[in-house]
Amino acid sequence: MSNNPSPLHTEFCGMTFNTPIVLLSGCVGFGEEYTRVNGFSNRDTGAVCLKGTTLEPRMGNAPHRVYETPDGMLNAIGLQNPGVDKVVSEILPTLDFSETRFIANVSGSSVEEYYEVTRRFDDSPIDAIEINISCPNVKEGGVAFGNDPAMSARVVETCRIATRKPLITKLSPNQTDIAGNAQGCIEAGSDAFSVINTLMGMAVDIESRVPVIGNNQGGLSGPAIKPVALLKVHQVYQVCREHNIPIIGQGGITTAEDALEFIIAGASTIGVGTALFYDPLVCKKINTGILDYLQRHDLPSIDRLVGTLQLHQSSPVRCGC
């Protein structure tokens, strides 16, 4: 990684990122998906979040697993991956850690599985670990860990015991009180947050009258969820700023303007995912736009912009009326 000072350099959990951009889990495989695209460089990113990894190999869900929607995409891949042992022993040695940071994404169907996968990544060169708590807890009837504050905190607490590396909790938007959940995760040992994971959605084939997605429902990503994601980042930031906890803001970011909105709302870094599928070189464009904004506003670095949102001084409205 370059030692030259740059306004785009971002501090995150004790690490220095080249830029504020994090390539999101599931969108770049295990770090190799875009290295063969002419013009793409990992140096344009701050970190790459690897595909969700479980203890044992998984084949994933039956097709269809991806479907394009207006301003977004549904996916229900089903955590297809080769298992943590293969990722650690065969995939991590092929990654160039001098270009960017690499973050593991841990998934599981039980607290014990989260612990074991996290423990194995702890004994590896990975830079940080993201916990995907949107997975269903099979021992509790399939309730997603991330939708229950007590379960969320328990997973974080267990993973905290298993690793000394920075621990990032990926929060689900499919819950009642995301800020309250974040508070519990901080108390359990989370060092940072990814905000947000996908919203749940569905698409229907009107001729056959069945869901298009083989899993019936899937995670909605892309520009369609950006307004929701922005609000959730703002809400979580109210808790995080008291503890100096950084946020990876994500959900529909396709331009520098999108990225800047998330940073102003409270994100220290920003995640790019769905946009990569139709513009693999979007990171360079976003970086250029952010740099231009900093120069125009005479800001020496991104951290001067984080959480600078000025709210209107009016009574809160609870609905869109």
Query: 51 by DSSP, 3-state: which?
Result: strand
CA 21, CA 45: separation in Å to the nearest integer?
5
Catalytic site residue 159?
A: no
Residues 6+ apart with CB under 8 A from 234: 265, 266, 309
Residues 6+ apart with CB under 8 A from 312: none
- Structure tokens given for 289: 């736009």
**Are 40 and 33 contacting, i.e. CB atoms less than 8 angstroms apart?**
no
**Are 113 and 159 contacting, i.e. CB atoms less than 8 angstroms apart?**
no
CA 104, CA 107: separation in Å to the nearest integer?
10
Tally of CB atoms within 10 A around 79: 19
From 13, 27, 49, 135, the catalytic residue: 135
Residues designated as active site: 135
